[in-house]
Amino acid sequence: MEIDLALIELGIIMLTLAVLGRLAVRVGLPTIPFFLLAGLFFGNGGVIPVEEAQPFIEIGASLGVIFLLFMLGLEYTPRELNDSMKRNVGAGVIDIFLNFVPGVVLGLILEWGILGAVVLGGVTYVSSSGIIAKLLTDLGRLGNRETPLILSLLVIEDLVMAIFLPVVAVVLAGGSAVSGAISGTVAAAIVLIVLTTSRKFGGVLERLLGHVSNELMLITLLGLATLVAGLAEYIHVSYAIGAFLLGIAISGQIAERAREMLQPLRDSFAALFFVYFGFEVAPSSLVNVAIPALCLAVASALTKFLTGWWSAKRIGLSSKGATRTALTLIPRGEFSIVLAGIGVSNGINSNLGPLVVAYVLILAIGGSIAVRFVK
C-alpha cells in the first residue's frame, strides 16, 4: 500500500463526507443515504474509485459498527434489556416467520434451489443493527418508549443468526447441518450467559476505572470493545452485538464518561462504515437486478413494518410509537451482505451478490429517509 496515496484518498473521502453531512443537515435528512451514495461514487466501478485507502476504510468500517453498538449499549442496563427481551419473545417469533417469507419465495421463483431460497430468506429477515443504531442516535430517540422493543428484536435476531449462519455455511460447504447447529447453539448460549452475568462484570469495571484519567479510561474501553467484538465474531456471533453486550455491562459514572469521550470517534468511524457499504458494488451490476431487488424490498419492508407495528401495539404503544418502531426496523445491512457473501462463495448464483446489495441500498436509504418524517 502506498501510504501517501492512501492518505490523500482518505482525506478526499473524509472531506467529501463532511460536505455531504452539512448538506444532509441543511435539507433535514439523515446522513446515512448520503454516505451510502458516497460509497458507490468512490467504490469499485464508481466515478472515482479509490484503491490504496480501502484496507484502512474496511477496518474503520468495523470500528464504526463497534462504536455505534457499544455506545447504544451504554444507554441500557442488563436488567432493562433482559426484562424487555422476555416481554418480546413472541414478537421475535413473529419477526422470524413474517420476514423469512419474502426471501424464500423469491429464491424459489428464481429457481435458486432450497438452499438459495433459505439464504435469501435470511437476507430479508435480519435488520441492520449498525444503521438502526445510527438512526436512533441521530434522531434523538434513545429515550423513546419504543427503543427497548427495537433493541430486543435486534438482539433476538442476532441470537437466531448465531445459529442460522454456521448451519447455512456448513451445509453449503457440503457438511452436516448437525455440526453447524451445535456450533450455533453454543454461540447463542454464550450470549445468554453474558446477558445474565454482565452486571457483575460492570461492577468490577467501574471499580477499576472509577479513578483513572480519561486517557487511560479511553484506551481501556477501546481495547475491551475491540477484544470483545473480535471474540464474539470468533464464536459466530455478530461483533456488533458483542460490543452492544459490553456496553450494557457498563453503567453509572463510567458510562457517562464513556459516552462523552467516544461520541466523536463513533460519528467519524460510523461514516466510514456506510461508505464501505457501497465500496464492493459496481453500480453497473445493479441494473440487471433492479426489478427483483425492488420487488423484494417492497415486500420485505411491508412484512417488517407489520412486525414492528404489531409488536408495538401489543405492548400498548401509541400509533405514532408503533409507526416509529415499524419504520426503524426496515433498514437491512451488514448481516444481509455477509449472508450474500457466503452464498456467492458457495456457488448459489452469480446474481445473488448484486441483488442483495441493490436490495440493501434500497432499504437502507429508503428506510432512513422514511423514519425521519415520523416524529
**Structural domain harbouring 316:** 3-372
The dihedral through the CA atoms of 329, 370, 72, 279 has a sign that is positive
Q: How far apart (Å, rounded) are the C-alpha atoms in residues 158 and 164?
A: 9
Per DSSP, the three-state class of 349 is coil
Of the two residues 95 and 374, the one the predictor is more confident about is 95
pLDDT band at 102 (very low <50, low <70, confident <90, very high): very high
pLDDT tens figures, 338-352: 788 778 777 788 788
Residue 198 pLDDT: 64
Average pLDDT over residues 87-116: 92
Given a contact cutoff of 8 angstroms between Cβ atoms, the answer to whether 289 and 358 are in contact is yes
Among candidate residues 348, 354, 275, the one with its CA nearest the CA of residue 111? 348
Give the global pTM: 0.76
Number of structural domains in the chain: 1
Looking up residue 84, the CATH number of its domain turns out to be: 1.20.1530.20
Percent of the chain with pLDDT over 70: 90
Model confidence at 306, pLDDT cuts 50, 70, 90, reads: very high
128-163 confidence digits (pLDDT tens): 888 898 888 888 888 899 998 998 898 888 778 777
The pLDDT, as a whole number, for residue 361 is 84
Find the mean pLDDT for residues 182-201.
68
The CA distance from 247 to 258, in Å, is 10
Question: Got the DSSP string for 206-237?
Answer: HHHHTTS-HHHHHHHHHHHHHHHHHHHHHTTS
Helix (H, G, I), strand (E, B) or coil at 72: helix
